[in-house]
Amino acid sequence: MTTTYRYAELRPDQLTKRLETYPVVIAPWGALEWHGPHLPFGLDGLVAEAFCEQLAARTGAVLLPTTYLPITALPHPQSISIRTEVVRGTWLDLLSELGRAGFRLVCLVSGHYAQGHEIVLADLADEVSQRSAPLVLAGTPLALLGEPGLLDHAGRWETSQLLHYRPELVELTAVPAGPHPPVSQSAVLGEDPRVASAEQGRQVVERALKAWETWIDRLLRDNDLKALHQLYSSRRASYRTYVDRYFKGSWEAAIEAWWAEHTG
């Protein structure tokens, strides 16, 4: 039987043993964000949590409870967003505390990947890692595959992941009619979610789990700060067009400007 070491359930002697054996901790991160009429608000956290449970079971890493604190959720009336400075401070405190507790590597797996959220996370993970206390491997479940088309919103790949993990929460018949329903009605950015399937979700998740395992092994073995820095530099570069067009002082203002342009 596979054991999952949940931080909240470990006694001090058990946590000390895990730190001596395998000093890796996994933190699932989610959001309560509108994903259209076909998906639940908690999709990001539900997927991150399920993915992290698998990753923890496969590696022996300690698993933290899931946190729902998103920067710049889509500005739909029923989405919940937390101020950037609050989330950044929370991340910094959490990473510092986990390093102080004795973990060498923190895997922060964010199911929410709005542009501002991703950029702030990449900046902070890079900053903390370069201090080597602890190393931080951060990103979406599928980010380490290096295929930008997989990082959609409410589309084929996000929907497929939830169909794999929690199919009872998906209602594809609720997707607005037409080949390209507008973002304001569907929340879809990417391929049509009606072509999603649980099998596609299973396959892409399996590939992603292997990618995370490979990175974890590499960082524990080689302490490869250069590779981490390159990972985050590449991620920031992928958002350059968004930053240049919409960022005028705050990520909150940026997502409002983006939303107005795409739904006006």
CB within 8 A of 178, min separation 6: which ones? none
Q: Between 177 and 63, where is the model more confident?
A: 63
Q: Does the pLDDT value for residue 3 go beyond 80?
A: yes
User: Helix 198-222 vs helix 43-59: angle between axes, to the nearest 10 degrees?
Assistant: 50
Q: Does the pLDDT value for residue 159 go beyond 60?
A: yes
pLDDT tens digits along 167-226? 999 999 999 998 888 999 999 999 999 999 999 999 999 999 999 999 999 999 999 999
Instruction: Categorize the per-residue pLDDT at 55 as very low, low, confident or very high, splitting at 50, 70 and 90.
Output: very high
pLDDT, position 238 = 95
Instruction: Categorize the per-residue pLDDT at 156 as very low, low, confident or very high, splitting at 50, 70 and 90.
Output: very high
pLDDT tens digits along 88-146? 999 999 999 999 999 999 999 999 999 999 999 999 999 999 987 799 999 999 999 99
